[in-house]
Amino acid sequence: MLPEKCDSLQACDDKLTGRRLRIPHVYTMAYSNRSFEALTYNATTRRFWTTTENTLKCDGYKPTITNKEVNVVRLQSFGDDLEPLEQYWYMSDSTSTQDYYRRTRPFAYFNEPSLVSAIDSVKRKTYSYPSGHAVRGWMYALTLALVVPDATEELMKRAEEYAMSRIICGRHYKSDIEASLVEATAIMSRLLSNEVFMKQLSKAREEYQSKFCRQESSK
């Protein structure tokens, strides 16, 4: 379970700042070892962003290899004062691609601990190809690049770094990451012909222009 305040944030020099995020109560309903992903900061919008790794108990059942439940992921932002701001949720695909290929994760294949050894016993039962985390990272970048085209290079670089971290921690092979980009690109090509997605994309562009471009012009 997650506390309503997380541990003190760390500065770039790895020293604790003494400041804490105010975590909305809904996130205390995370399944064991399925809480937040890494925290990132957008200096332009002055927002911290994080995302859940898996479905919260209040949103449905946790997806597994056998039950084929759809993963419901929440995105959460925090302001510079570390108070919660926007919250979004979306439904992602099941693990059907990984189930089809059933590729053993590298740390399990070589019988070595990963960098997150506390959940190795859980991850040994899941598959490697392609990387679901990397697919999400590429999808975030591709989607945001449609909203803020000028930031495309920076967004894609960040998504690549995120994807490569999956190799570093022992969860995936390089080919898993390469396949995830192919999958994300294929998904995006379908979304661009989806009327509902395009309407939401238009709203996101308008919101960005009205909120953040106005802030920049007033400086």
**Among 74, 105, 133, 171, the one annotated catalytic:** 133
7 belongs to the catalytic site: no
Q: Cα–Cα distance between 110 and 124 in angstroms, integer? A: 11
> Which residue in the list 172, 190, 205, 214 is annotated as catalytic?
172
59 is catalytic: no
Q: Known catalytic residue: 176?
A: yes
Residue with tokens 């997150």: 116
* In the chain, alpha helices (H): 96-101, 106-109, 120-123, 132-147, 152-168, 174-191, 195-208, 214-217
Q: Which of 50, 56, 19 is nearest to 36 (CA)?
A: 50
Q: Is 205 among the residues known to form the active site? A: no
Show the CA angle centred on residue 96, arms to residues 147 and 29, nearest 5°.
Answer: 70
Please identify every residue annotated as catalytic. 133, 166, 172, 176
